[in-house]
A and B are shown apart, each in its own frame.
Chain A
Amino acid sequence: MLSIQYDSTFDGFLSVVFEVYRQRLDVGAIVPNRRAGEATDLFLQPFWVETSEESARRLKRAIANAASSDVLAMLDIVFRSEEDGVEMKILTFLRKLFAGIDPNYGRNPASPEMLPLYRIAQSVRLEIADMRGMVRFSKTSNGTYFAEIEPKYDILEILTPHFRNRFANERWAIYDSRRNFGVYYDGHSAAEVTIPNLESVKAGMPPDTITQLWKDYYNAISIKERENPRLLRRCLPVRYWKHMPERDERNQLAAACPPQIMRPSDVAKANSFARIAAR
């Protein structure tokens, strides 16, 4: 049995599947090369498959024909989850699809092979939707807007068109520091970039004055009588807080004692209590 390695891209994975069929390989595991250093199964023989655009293209067409282009798009999304063993799950599905036993197999979302993929796709899509809102840019001295994100799944490429449409006439960059690559948009087109020393680049940026206004707004808009930390954590998971200025720790301490500004609702409530006490 083989432990097949590839270059961690979706095209690379499709080339693996293509070779599995072409050479009738006996697959034990499919391992992306970003996991190269991790412990491997001693009983599996390592095997490298080179990425080939041609075979990926042919397989994509075959999937779209046997199932639909929606299913192909879903597989791409599922692949981005980078979950352990997701490659084998997709392979099992494709094997059953290409076996051609049931002509409707590709359209059945409730089949035992499709359902787990469907659920994974759901959670990746959820993060994409969340991330559209949770990216926080800060303005750098040369007018470029820079944001750092650490999403659970590899979704930056899918986010790019959204921000390209929205900020079509700005210069901005989003950097995925977990996977160590980013996208830079110069006002015309987006390109992939890597920053070798991100920390020093970030340290050189001047603080953004608007951020303080945003923190103030965030603290003022919450209703004290309705505080609900559990609901907050469910909607806004703690793992995202790191790159959101409004949720950083110092701001949360400041929320308890705002600057020398009186908020109307606090004043009104204090006055009401005072009036009752005077009676």
Chain B
Amino acid sequence: MDVREKLNILADAAKYDVSCSSSGSNRNTPKGGLGNGCKSGICHTWAADGRCISLLKVLMSNACKYDCAYCVNRRSNDIPRATFTPNEIINLTLEFYRRNYIEGLFLSSAVIVSPDHTMELLVKVAKELRTVHKFGGYIHLKSIPGASEELLHEAGLYADRSSVNIEIPTDKALQYLAPEKNHASVFRPMNYLAERKIEYNAGGSFSRYRPKFLPAGQSTQMIVGVAGETDLQILTLSNGFYRQQQMKRVYFSGYVPINADKRLPVITTKPPLVREHRLYQADWLMRFYKFNYNEIVDAAHPNLDLELDPKISWALRHPEFFPVDIQTADYEMLLRVPGIGVKSANLIASGRRFCKIRLEQLKKMGVVMKRAQYFIYHPDTPASLRRLYPEMVRPLLVAQTKPQQLNFLDALDSKPALLTAS
């Protein structure tokens, strides 16, 4: 089997892993070597599904010994299998990198022989790239649950980011769908790596010679819409990841059906793209907008509103805070106004020290007035709009279905024949 065929098979098998970021590491180009890290991350291209491609995302092997119901690579599936040799992956990475196709390598693998054996292969690739080829680009390694601590530790020394996927938000459902896995086995490598990272960063020596340990931290991923979990459960869990394991990202992957299985939704199910999008919006609110997870969803509203984004939903549930006076409101409050993002909130906060912010300027700053107009108070607001009535505003904000232009000729065709005297 040649490299081209292996690449086709193993890239296809890796595509359900949504992690794409290449940010968080600013590794310098090694002396006499190739490549560096870019703190903000760089997207190199976008696939036909609109997801960014910044890393060469492949599996080491897809010959898995586990049998997880939702996974394309499960043991019981009759599919083409392939395994890269470490050298093939290293060559591909370097050749792609030199042509500026990619930002680095994302290496994952199905479990072959044993978790330790698999992890050893992954670490070998990363180690050779860093030491033999003096590669300074981004490396994202999967930690395999069940691998030994020594191997995890070594992985942390060579990789920029590591991840273990939690897959299903509830332990019971995970054990039902993936008999070989449970939450405890996933949390063990996560916690181990998080603790080592804290150790490496302790001591206050910020010398550039200090060894780097997972400079871009950890991430994880869960499948949405396969086990009947609520958004409250998902966001509670991801909040825990951000707080306790110091995760940089939690990814959500709307379930794309591949396998016909009694335990799964029927195979014709459409991926829950809107729900996934709303979850990411909620995730952004938690990470950049200083929202707490239990403000976005709570026991009374365990699921996100699919028609409106979580920020508007929160605002409509709390009319007592609105309209906000943009001349005097706290920065934190500006961030909570629908239609105002981090950049425009910064502009408002720094600009209003010098002059009053008028409506005209807000538009030029990039504030989405379509949404913001109902929630802000400024000198140009008419007196009648100085109170927020959620039940009046909601229908104005819900996206209306666009009226369709009828094709005149179609209408003629489908028209019943004229009544004739018969």
Chain A residues at the B interface, C-beta cutoff of 8 Å: 102, 104-105, 107-112, 115-116, 118-119, 129-130, 132-139, 145, 147, 162-163, 165-170, 208, 210-214, 216-218, 220-232, 234-236, 244, 246-247, 255, 258, 261-269, 271-273, 275-276
CA distance A121 to B212 in the complex (A): 35
CB distance from A274 to the nearest CB of B (A): 9
Tell me whether B385 is interfacial, beta carbon within 8 Å: no
The answer to whether B49 and A269 have CB atoms under 8 Å apart is no
The answer to whether A255 touches B48 (Cβ under 8 A) is yes
Tell whether B172 is near chain A: CB-to-CB under 8 Å.
no
Q: SS class of chain A's interface: helix, strand, loop or mixed?
A: helix
Closest to A112 in B: B361
Q: Tell me if A136 and B62 are in contact (CB < 8 A).
A: no
Name B99's contact: one of A111, A165, A214 (CB within 8 Å).
A214
Q: With an 8 A cutoff between CB atoms, is B283 at the interface? A: no
**Given contact pairs A133-B45, A222-B48, A110 touches B347 in the complex (Cβ within 8 A):** yes
For A147, list chain B residues within 8 Å (CB). Answer: 100
Contact present for B98 and A145 (CB under 8 Å)? yes
A32 to chain B, nearest CB (A): 26
Q: Which residues of A contact B350 (CB under 8 A)?
A: 107-110
Question: Shortest Cβ distance from A119 into chain B, in angstroms?
Answer: 7
* Contact of A216 (CB < 8 Å), options: B8, B29, B77: B8
Question: Can you report 24 residue pairs joining A to B where beta carbons are below 8 Å apart?
Answer: A108-B350, A108-B351, A110-B352, A111-B351, A129-B40, A133-B45, A135-B100, A139-B98, A168-B34, A170-B34, A208-B99, A210-B95, A211-B99, A216-B4, A217-B7, A217-B8, A221-B14, A223-B16, A228-B50, A232-B49, A235-B46, A235-B52, A267-B79, A271-B79
- Which of B11, B33, B78 interacts with A169 by CB under 8 Å? B33
Chain B residues closer than 8 Å to A104, beta-carbon distance: 353-354
On whether the beta carbons of B267 and A167 are closer than 8 Å, the reply is no
| Beta-carbon contact of A228 and B29 below 8 Å | no
A96 smallest CB distance to B (angstroms): 13
Q: Which of A116, A133, A258, A264 is B364 in contact with, Cβ under 8 Å? A: A116
Which residues of B70-86 have CB atoms within 8 Å of chain A's CB atoms?
A: 72-73, 77-81
Q: Quick one: given A170-B34, A263-B9, are A226 and B271 in contact (CB under 8 Å)? A: yes
Across-interface contacts of B5 in A (CB, < 8 A): 261
**Which chain A residue has the least Cβ–Cβ distance from B276?**
A226
- Neighbouring B residues of A170 by C-beta, 8 Å: 34, 98
Q: Contact at B351–A109, with CB atoms within 8 Å?
A: yes
Cβ–Cβ < 8 Å partners of A107 in chain B: 350, 354
B13-49 vs A: 1/0 string, CB under 8 Å? Answer: 1111000000000000100111110101011111111
Q: Complex: how many Å from CA A244 to CA B44?
A: 10
Q: B99–A133 contact, CB under 8 A?
A: no
B365 CB–A CB distance under 8 Å? yes
Report whether B271 and A264 are in contact in the complex, using a CB–CB cutoff of 8 Å.
Answer: no
Q: Give the CA-CA distance A17 to B14 in the complex, in Å.
A: 57
Determine how close the nearest CB of chain A comes to the CB of B173; give it in whole angstroms: 21
Which residues on the A side are within 8 Å of B11 (C-beta)?
216-217, 220-221
A264–B16 Cα distance when bound, in Å, is: 12
Interface residues on B, range: 35 or more
Chain B interface, >50% SS class: loop
Question: B260 within 8 Å of A by Cβ?
Answer: yes
Would you call B15 and A218 a contact (CB within 8 A)? no
Asked, given contacts A255-B48, A276-B267, whether A133 binds B351 with beta carbons under 8 Å apart, the answer is: no
Residues of chain B lying within 8 A (CB to CB) of residue A272: 257-260, 267
B contact residues around A167 at 8 Å (CB): 34-35, 98
B96 within 8 A of A: yes
Give Cα A164 to B353, complex, Å. 41
Contact A110 B38 (CB under 8 A): no
Q: A133-B42, A264-B79 are in contact. Are A269 and B258 (CB under 8 A)?
A: yes
Within 8 Å CB of A271, what residues of B? 77-79
Q: Does B57 contact A (CB under 8 A)?
A: yes
Please give me the residue from chain A that is nearest to B50 by CB atom. A231
B49 A228 Cβ-Cβ under 8 A: yes
Min C-beta distance of B242 to chain A, whole Å: 26
Top 9 A-B pairs ranked by shortest CB distance?
A110-B351, A231-B50, A222-B47, A272-B260, A108-B354, A228-B50, A133-B44, A263-B12, A220-B11
Beyond the given pairs A110-B351, A212-B4, 10 more chain A to chain B contacts, judged by CB atoms under 8 angstroms and listed by A's residue number, are A108-B353, A135-B100, A218-B47, A221-B47, A226-B49, A227-B49, A228-B48, A235-B43, A264-B13, A265-B72
The residues of B that contact A231 with a CB separation of less than 8 Å are: 46, 49-50
Q: Nearest chain-B residue to A241 (Cβ)?
A: B45
Chain A residues with CB below 8 A from B81, complex form: 264
Least distance between B267 CB and chain A CB atoms (Å)? 5
Among A137, A165, A218, the residue within 8 A (CB) of B45 is A218
- Mark interface residues in B228-260 (1 if CB within 8 Å of A CB, else 0): 000000000000000000000000001011111
Across the two chains, which residue of chain A brings its CB closest to B62?
A: A264
A108 to B11, CA, bound (A): 49
Q: Is the CB of A268 within 8 A of B79?
A: yes
Provide the residues of chain A in CB contact with B29, threshold 8 Å. Answer: 165-166, 168
Listed residue (A168, A170, A221, A273) with the most chain B CB atoms within 10 angstroms of its CB:
A221
Can you name the residue of chain A whose Cβ is closest to the Cβ of B360?
A: A112
Please state if B15 and A222 are interface contacts (CB–CB under 8 Å). Answer: yes
Complex-state Cα separation, A271 to B259, whole angstroms: 8
Q: Does any Cβ of A come within 8 Å of B101's Cβ?
A: yes
B4 contacts A134, C-beta separation under 8 Å: no
- Does B3 belong to the interface (CB within 8 Å)? yes
